[in-house]
Amino acid sequence: MRRIIPILFLLSAPFLCCTTLLADSPGHDLLLTTKRFIQSLSEDQKKETLFDNTSEHRRDWDFLPDKFIKPHGKRFGLGLKNMDKGQRLLAHAMLSAALSNKGYIQATSTMMLEQILYDLEGQNKIRDPELYYVSIFGKPAEKGHWGWRFEGHHMSINVTVKDGQHFSVTPSFFGANPGEVREGAFEGLRVLGEEEEIGRSLIKSLSKEQRKKAVIMKEAPRDILTKQDQTVDRKNFTPAKGISRDALNEEQREILQRLTEIYVEKYRPEIVSELMGRRGASTDSAHFAWAGGFERGEPHYYRVQTEKFLFEYDNVQGGANHVHSVWRDFNGDFGADLLREHYQKSHK
């Protein structure tokens, strides 16, 4: 079974030791694509797009369709629908600068599902692959703290950059409705199929005694527990529930490792490597928890909790054909750890 993260640390070493941004490095590409996008904007569009780092909007994220977002019934930021063709390409360039190839394919597939829903639901206007929005926070520069969000129904990608070399990408939300397309040209498409199958393979690999520890509820909750919370309260997940990594055999540990990799490898390897190295991330203390049925088509939920991170997955709605998944950082969402470090150095 592949092991990705340890290799990534080796790949990132030359990048992290440099004091200037190398061409093709994530910091360089994120800065370049964001500046180009800003250059393309009119003054009115800038008012919709640009926010201070301290703006309340920075943490005001959501994965619902626009209509259901409270209290405004809409998203902030500049929508793809309100961009010209060139600006849409530049917005996608920003997205691809942060994501891996796999992540970019998943992001665009998530957006495409909106067109499929539009057709399935009799041209429902709230289903629109152009209802995705870009918000930029702070002033993009080689030095300093800035970031952006690319968000719409079932997707919220939140990128923070510090000095072009340090990164945060949480909350990282991907959903899929339908979880499996069951008719039409894309019949059989499962945008988050791997997240489901690897999680199921782990719970089904457990012995009867192990399952007693892993299963925390007979019925799965209707949604991920953290929902659109701006921060994750560790108290709600303490003590950690489920089965600990120590209680797994070697093969099961490999599956658990792979399960976390599915979520993080959506981003560029250098970004993941730097983030994991800085946060001291490890799965040694991980717990795996499951709720609901074990078979495909049955409502189910799981989470992997480590000292630093929380990975949640839920497939209950729509007859267990509507998936929500998220990667959260207990103390570093929206680059909170980077911002704390910045303020500490500034005060010193």
Q: Which two tokens stand for residue 123?
A: 């041209």
What's the confidence (pLDDT) of residue 280? Answer: 84
What's the confidence (pLDDT) of residue 342? Answer: 52
What's the confidence (pLDDT) of residue 215? Answer: 98
What's the confidence (pLDDT) of residue 4? Answer: 42
Cα(69)–Cα(163) distance, integer angstroms = 33
| 132 neighbors 150 (Cβ within 8 angstroms) | yes
What's the confidence (pLDDT) of residue 266? Answer: 98
Residue 59 has a CB neighbour count (10 Å cut-off) of 16
| 294 neighbors 211 (Cβ within 8 angstroms) | no
What's the confidence (pLDDT) of residue 22? Answer: 78
Give this prediction's pTM. 0.92
The per-residue b/e assignment along 140-153, b for 16 or more CB within 10 angstroms, e otherwise, is beeeebbbbbbbbb
Strands (E) located in the chain? 50-51, 78-79, 132-137, 145-152, 155-162, 166-168, 172-176, 215-217, 243-244, 287-292, 300-305, 309-315, 323-329
Cα(156)–Cα(134) distance, integer angstroms = 10
What's the confidence (pLDDT) of residue 71? Answer: 85
Residue whose C-alpha is closest to residue 336's, from 225, 170, 172, 95? 170
What's the confidence (pLDDT) of residue 88? Answer: 98
What's the confidence (pLDDT) of residue 50? Answer: 98
| 31 neighbors 140 (Cβ within 8 angstroms) | yes
Residues of the chain where predicted confidence (pLDDT) is lower than 70: 1-20, 340-348
What's the confidence (pLDDT) of residue 155? Answer: 98
